[in-house]
Structure 1
Amino acid sequence: MSNKNKDMGVLSQNENLIKLYVHPDNRMAKQSIAVAEASKAIKKVVNLSEVKLTETQWGDLADLLNLDSPQDLINFDHDIIKEKFDHKKPEIYDNEAMKLLTHNQEILKHGIAVRGKKAVFITNVNDIMKLQEPDTNDITIP
């Protein structure tokens, strides 16, 4: 393993930190980072092209997102998935989904923003605002 693919430790859960898990190939990555920078919260970007998450961390992210299965993290339209499987949405077990994500992090369906024990998929820039502290001007969009 190269220095570029450092393993992450256990997922931290800090209320003052917005952590973005994004792959630079994702169209929303740059916009998500800009919105997070507008927040009063501390921002940390986990670039999934440089940092390798573990299967346990993928499972933790799926749990934080309240997903039924880690499969729900996967973009089944990604070329890597299409090359590996014949079906549009193959039936795979949860542990297989986490292995796929660990070795092919670019197949992540959407970026993920985490703040404390809350997590959201980043499908548009306003999704990060769901992590805003209630009744504060925590995130301002210019």
Structure 2
Amino acid sequence: MNIMGVLAEDEKQMTLIYNSETSIGKQTLAYAEASDKKLLSIDISKTKITGTQWAEIASHLGTTIPSLVDEEHPNFVKNYGDDYVNLSEEDWIKVLQNQPEVLTGCIVINGKESVLITNPSDIVKYLGVDSKEIED
């Protein structure tokens, strides 16, 4: 899989990076699949994303890799405790690669816009539904 191509800002395709083993991942995927938009879905519980790709995703989101990790997730707390965790960027990437369930939500890349979704229904804003259709 080539995320570089994924992040090529294709206006005709939405990319969803999600974890099928989480309820937010399953629900967000269902919303995305129900849309008419061409969808590339990447299930991180089955497809490993490289460190370079995670760095590019975080950059595209305008955030840091540690901010993509849910530090309150039970599996993260079990491995690292619930106090402040000081990890290198490489270590944060390893956390995402080895414990994909700790991803904070789902990542939607739609053209030039990228967003981290933590509420599955929020994806509706990015599905390209014409606002006139909603008003009618």
Q: Quote the offset at 1:49 in angstroms.
A: 1.4
Q: Which residue of structure 2 aligns with residue 5 of structure 1? A: none
Amino acid at match of 2:97: T
Amino acid at match of 1:96: D
Q: Which runs of 5+ in 2 are unaligned?
A: none
Among candidates 116, 120, 129, match of residue 115 of structure 2: 120
Q: Residue by residue, what CA displacement relative to the aligned partner does 1:73-96 show, whole Å, maximum 9, x if unpaired?
A: 001122332232234341222222
Q: Quote the offset at 1:102 in angstroms.
A: 1.9
Distance 1:23 1:132 in 2: 19
TM-score, scaled relative to structure 2: 0.80
With over 3 angstroms needed to count, the CA separation of the structure-2 counterparts of 1:70 and 1:131, relative to structure 1, is same
With over 3 angstroms needed to count, the CA separation of the structure-2 counterparts of 1:81 and 1:125, relative to structure 1, is closer
Distance 2:3 2:18 in 1: 17
Among candidates 108, 126, 130, match of residue 131 of structure 1: 126
TM-score, scaled relative to structure 1: 0.77
Q: Quote the offset at 1:39 in angstroms.
A: 2.5
Q: Which residue of structure 2 aligns with residue 66 of structure 1? A: 62
Amino acid at match of 1:16: K
- Number of aligned residues: 131
Q: Quote the offset at 1:52 in angstroms.
A: 0.5
Structure number having the greater helix percentage = 2
1:22 corresponds to 2:18: yes
The sequence identity of aligned pairs, in percent, is 26
Distance 1:115 1:88 in 2: 35
Q: Which residue of structure 1 aligns with residue 45 of structure 2? A: 49
Q: Quote the offset at 1:27 in angstroms.
A: 1.5
Q: Which runs of 5+ in 1 are unaligned?
A: 1-7
Q: Which residue of structure 2 aligns with residue 10 of structure 1? A: 3
Q: CA RMSD in A?
A: 2.4
Q: Secondary structure at the match of 1:76?
A: coil
Q: Secondary structure at the match of 1:24?
A: coil
Distance 1:65 1:26 in 2: 21
